[in-house]
Amino acid sequence: MIDDLGSTSGSDSLTPGPNAEYSDDHSAGAHRSGDRVRRGVVSFVRRSPRMNVSQQRSMDTLASTYMIEVPRDATSTSVAPGAHLDLPKIFGRTAPLTVEIGTGSGDVLAALASAHPERDFIGFEVYLPSAASTLTKLHAARATNARIILADAAAGLDHLVEPGEVDEIWTFFADPWHKKRHHKRRIVNPDIARLVASRLRPGGLWRLATDWDDYATWMLGVLSAEPLLKPVNTGPDGFSPRWDERPVTRYEKKGLAAGRVVHDLTWRRAEKS
């Protein structure tokens, strides 16, 4: 059973389960050393509440189907250097891959994985209650083409995903970390932009959304500074129209009800580096 501290009982490393299709050749990551992200600062603080009974039940019964266990480094949300995913073995096919950075309660991942059975989806999430809710929604949507990984998305992209392997990456309503001294924790930063660009195929898309004006401006500045990323369908303010396929989540509804404006950004990986 996975406990509410983010590890298997009695260990800080998750034991590989039925979906643990990865290679653990620690020499394999050497060719990607140029893409490494400095991980001294992470974009989250794991103060998540304990899972409720329903969430624990979902974790106990659905993790073996929808969760990919990966080898760990020092912490329960880390990824061991040199590990990478065998996607054809995990999904039983080769298909365009979408990665979501932070699944939240799973509304977007479940809805769009169900709507696009021709694609494969992986969501990274660090909070156990959110991961459990995502499992529940994937199961309800019968989204067998989606998996989640309980890991820091930066480490996951860095170690588990090959350059040019991803068709789309999504970052919707990430923690804005309002205080200036916490801006270093923002998941959208120059290092992540460089990493995302390297993992996208040429022409692949990074879709982002936030309902905080200052974070939207921050993201626009970060993306504009990455030479491998180019804006798509932007207006005079630099932002994109709302992506009509993105479901309106409960979080987004709360922001709109509070009078906040949602800003969408869509950036494409340049065809040539």
For 29-72, the pLDDT digits (tens) are: 333 334 444 445 444 444 456 888 999 999 999 999 999 999 99
* Catalytically annotated residue among 175, 214, 237, 244: 175
- Can you give the C-alpha Rg of the chain in angstroms? 18
Tell me, yes or no, if 175 is annotated catalytic. Answer: yes
What is 51-269's CATH number? 3.40.50.150
For residues 238-244, give the mean pLDDT: 96
Q: Give the global pTM.
A: 0.82
Q: Residue 176: which pLDDT band, with cuts at 50, 70 and 90?
A: confident
For 256-268, the pLDDT digits (tens) are: 999 999 999 999 9
Annotated binding site for substrate: 179, 211, 249-252
For 80-114, the pLDDT digits (tens) are: 999 989 999 999 999 999 999 999 999 999 999 99
Annotated binding site for S-adenosyl-L-methionine: 100, 125, 152, 175
